[in-house]
Structure 1
Amino acid sequence: MIETFRLTKRHRAIAAVDDLTLSATDGQVTGFVGPNGSGKTSTMRMVVGLDRPTAGTATIDGRPLREHRAPQRVVGVVLDGRGAPGGMTTRAHLRWLAAAGGIADQRADELLEEVGLASAASRRIAALSMGMRQRLGIAAALLGDPGTLILDEPVNGLDPDGVRWVRHLVRRLAAEGRCVLVSSHLMAEMQQTADRVVVIGAGRLLGQFDIGDLEEGTSLEDAYLRLTADVAQYRAGATGRGGQ
């Protein structure tokens, strides 16, 4: 379970995340959505200990991640597919990460097969397409068989087959009792994938609801646009609301 309580991150006078309290529970896919610059990535980085909060707390299974003895077995993270070293092969990269977590090489090889990269095991990461890098990032997140997954825009760069594969994967992981937090700008895809949605804007919580609670005839996109109408900074034609 992921929980934040009054989580705040300031960069000088700017609040990237502002007094944010939310939760993502086990056994569900929680969609995490908001306009560009709303604070989603900043929130996820604080949850996994990459950034320190200015105030408030972020915990996984009741504790900050730094207090867990085996982080790879607690949470798997996809935040930026560009972080992998381009000179390494996909297999070497996964095996190196596995060794760091005390995980057998066999697990890395199994995951290359599971994410559809077995035929690219000897290919250097720099030569991979964006979609292949996304698949590699998901494999890395699954190495420790964690109970929590945090995926930032996991379908970016994927073809329709890959998008469907990610959808089925996260639904299966949640069905196994894991906590899955997924950010996306694709509302139609999120409506098919998530059990529950958390909407933020300008670093603040705007709303949270179960997908099943949407009114008949109302799409997630409709609900999202209503909630974010006053905080979307870069909406076309929004010069009267900070869109200049």
Structure 2
Amino acid sequence: MACLLGLPGALAVTAPTASAAPATQPLESIAAAAQARLEAEAARRWGSDPATETEVRINRLDARLRLPACATALSTVLPPGTRAIGAVAVGVRCARPAWSVFVPGRISVQKPVVVTAVSLPRGAALARGDLVMERRDLSTLPAGYLADAEALVGQTLRRPLQARTVLLPGMAAAPKLVARGERVALQAGGGGIAVQVEGEALADGALGETVRVRNLATRRVVQGTVSGPQRVVVGLPGIGKNVNQP
């Protein structure tokens, strides 16, 4: 036995082995869980729109992060009120052993929006040639956007705009066809009967908007819909939902 202990390598056989380091959770698996959750959120919010393209990016995790290997499948959670656009943080959790970490990422949403083709002054009536559709990242448009150029034709600008400006809600308005205090043709119809009387508009109104009008013959105030220049359509007098007392 003594000669065996003297053989090269004998100490390696008899010496105690070093304890193995605790297993850690691969950072790639944490990033993959966060990626999958954000992709699912993007698909749920934007997937039904064929004109929209989404891209999910997860920030690189700190290489110094050391978490115990998870004995169960990782789960994910989004903070209340999280929007599926722009900067997003998704929580990745392990049930056993218990730990959690928030992983930052970003959901980019590209969609065609209405943009001015040329510079336009305040009060300009928009023509179709004044507008183009350009793909933009919606996360850079916190004030909103418009996606229907045809619906803006005929509306007037409330402020001057430079070329390639994204049209935001409220930048243009439908022209007023009825002005407060002016005489209007008050048209009433129903049951095969049509009546037209003179009225006084009590508010401004654009096409399709609801305005209050005083019937100058009866002095009653009714609500009607602007149907054209100085023209408002209502139900026959006496229909409760259309009639208000002065």
TM-score bin, normalised by smaller chain: under 0.3
The alignment's TM-score, normalised by the length of structure 1, stands at 0.20
Of Structure 1 and Structure 2, the greater strand share is in: 2
The alignment's TM-score, normalised by the length of structure 2, stands at 0.20
Q: Which is greater in Rg? A: 2
Of Structure 1 and Structure 2, the greater helix share is in: 1
